Amino acid sequence: MKIGRRSGFTLLEVAAVSGLLVIVMSALVLSQGSVTKLLSTTSTSGLVVDEARQVLDVMSTELRWAQGTGLLITAENGASRIDFQTGIGFAGGVTQWSTPITYHVRPSPIDANNNGIADDWRLVRTQNGTNRTLCDFVAAGGLTATRNNNAITLQLRLSRTDPATRRPLRANERTTLTIRN
């Protein structure tokens, strides 16, 4: 009687398959980490662009109703400074104007680029001595305003460092509006 060979895997075959499985799983884990970092960077980059768009919408809405003859665009801290008044009502058929409003770029207490140097900026709205930060992460010279008759073009550049990847994230958004007053 002939004794048959037992079915199953040898120790060498099991070791080879286990080694291949470890290599394949390691590659999957490493690629998953890369994909997660990419998604995080893309998401954070989208937030920076979205913030720039929202700030420009707020500014455009208010500037659209500015007094055309009193609107002044000058330079401050290497960026545009916008001084204006908006209509707040009527009295005896005459428009009543707000106290002066200023949009300007000021030094920021936030180290957006994580370099340990106070070289970061923020966009501030000032009225009646009250400052309201519209956004941080403004790049140096990051607000540009130009006027052509009743059309104003605003450009806002934001820059920050992604905390997860330490890569720079930038937004450069622009809008044009027409003054109605």
Any domain includes 33: no
Tell me the pLDDT tens digit for each residue of 144-178: 999 999 999 999 999 888 777 778 888 899 999 99
Any domain includes 115: yes
Which residues, including other chains, have CB under 8 Å from residue 62's CB and lie 6 or more apart? Answer: 86, 101
Any domain includes 82: yes
The whole-angstrom separation of Cα 124 and Cα 107 is 10
pTM of the model: 0.74
What is the total count of domains within the chain?
1
pLDDT greater than 80 at residue 17 = yes
Any domain includes 13: no
pLDDT greater than 80 at residue 100 = yes
| CA angle (128 as vertex; 122, 134 as ends), nearest 5 | 25
For residue 33, name the pLDDT band (cuts at 50, 70, 90): low
Tell me the pLDDT tens digit for each residue of 104-120: 999 988 876 667 777 78
Any domain includes 131: yes
Any domain includes 17: no
pLDDT of 37 reads 63
The whole-angstrom separation of Cα 5 and Cα 27 is 37
- Looking at the chain, the whole-number percentage of residues with pLDDT higher than 70 is 88
Give the closest residue to 45 by CA, choosing from 173, 180, 178: 173
The boundaries of the domain holding residue 128 are 43-178
Which of 19-23, 86-90, 130-134: highest mean pLDDT? Answer: 130-134
Any domain includes 12: no
- The per-residue DSSP string of the chain comes to -PPPPPPS--HHHHHHHHHHHHHHHHHHHHHHHHHHHHHHHHHHHHHHHHHHHHHHHHHHHHHTTB-GGG-EEEEETTEEEEEE-BEEEEETTEEEEPSPEEEEEEE-SS-TT-SSSS--EEEEEEETTEEEEEEEEEEEEEEEEEEETTEEEEEEEEEEE-TTT--EEEEEEEEEEE---
Name residue 101's beta-bridge partners.
Answer: 84, 127
Phi, psi angles (nearest 5°) of residue 71: -75, 130
pLDDT of 160 reads 83
pLDDT of 102 reads 97
pLDDT of 144 reads 96
- The answer to which of 19-28, 42-51, 154-163 has the lowest mean pLDDT is 42-51
pLDDT of 76 reads 94
Any domain includes 146: yes
Average pLDDT over residues 89-101: 91
